[in-house]
Amino acid sequence: MNIKNNTGTGIPSNKIDIQIQYTKIFGVPLLKTSFPKNSIDKLVGLTDSLLKDPKHIDYSSHLAGVIKKGKQILMPVKIKETGANKILKSLKNNIKALCNNYIESVRNSDEGSKKMWKDFTMNIIQVWLVSQYKNDYNPPHTHGGTMSGIIYLKVPKRITDNLEVPDGKLSFQGWLPYKPEMLMFNQNQSINPKTGDVYIFPAWLSHQVYPFDFDEERRCISFNLQATPLGKNVKY
């Protein structure tokens, strides 16, 4: 799968060939889409080989995750094997295309954003693989860069189907409008992911992943991207 989009400077004009939805978490835009099964299968195959490679770069010291049974691996910039490298290149192009779409959505929200994001540069900072098993988890944390995202490659059915408990789910932390009857207004809002789901959100938005208590793998690819507006209309 290749999402047709311009990955250079400025807002893309080409259409994206997958359905994209926007919702809001505590008033913050959250992009959601899904990759088709054949694309996810290719990414699973690619990450299978990385997980088996003894030369992989352990990225755990750079991440918040408490991973004891699984692994956290930095995705390589390039892979020697042509087929695998093609999948990796397509993945990064699709990440840029989706983040471009996110910026376009923000840009169209008001006049100030239209001016600020008229032209911009965009660079992927890191892409990493997270393989989690029983009792592995990510405590509340934020990321570096402008935008972050998650691509779900494997989600145990017991996580997807169980709506009553937070086990294995992605949870965002934020603030709801204060009401006098509320003693606490710092809230959690959980996402119930399934295999193939993709989410993109501002890197500063706090989130966590709850542990789960069964012997199946939860696998995802995460990434950080830096988008920098250009030109005289930019104000900091």
Per-residue confidence in pLDDT tens, the chain, 236 aa: 656 543 333 333 334 578 999 999 888 999 999 999 999 999 999 999 999 998 888 888 888 989 999 999 999 888 888 899 999 999 999 999 999 999 999 888 778 788 888 889 999 999 999 999 999 999 999 999 999 999 999 999 888 787 677 788 899 988 766 555 555 556 788 888 999 999 999 999 999 999 989 889 999 999 999 999 986 555 54
155 in any annotated domain: yes
Q: What is the DSSP letter of 195?
A: T
Total of domains in the chain: 1
Segments forming the whole domain that contains residue 114:
21-229
* CATH number for 60: 2.60.120.620
What would the pLDDT profile of 60-109 be if each residue is shown by its tens digit? 888 898 999 999 999 988 888 889 999 999 999 999 999 999 999 988 87
C-alpha 10: how far from its chain's center?
22
16 in any annotated domain: no
3 in any annotated domain: no
Find, among 158, 149, 152, the residue nearest to 196 by Cα: 152
56 in any annotated domain: yes
13 in any annotated domain: no
CA distances to 6, 130, 144, 151 from 202, in Å: 21, 20, 10, 15
Q: Mean of the per-residue pLDDT values for the chain?
A: 85
Q: Which residues of 99-110 are buried (b: 16+ CB within 10 A; e: fewer)?
A: bbbbbeebbeee
CA distances to 76, 167, 219 from 193, in Å: 26, 11, 11
- pLDDT, residue 8, reads 35
Reduced to 3 states (helix: H, G, I; strand: E, B; else coil), residue 66 is strand
236 in any annotated domain: no
107 in any annotated domain: yes
- pLDDT, residue 13, reads 34
Q: Which helix (H) or strand (E) holds 93?
A: helix 82-107
9 in any annotated domain: no
Contact 231, 136 (CB under 8 A): no
- CA-CA distance, 197 to 34, in Å (whole number)? 4
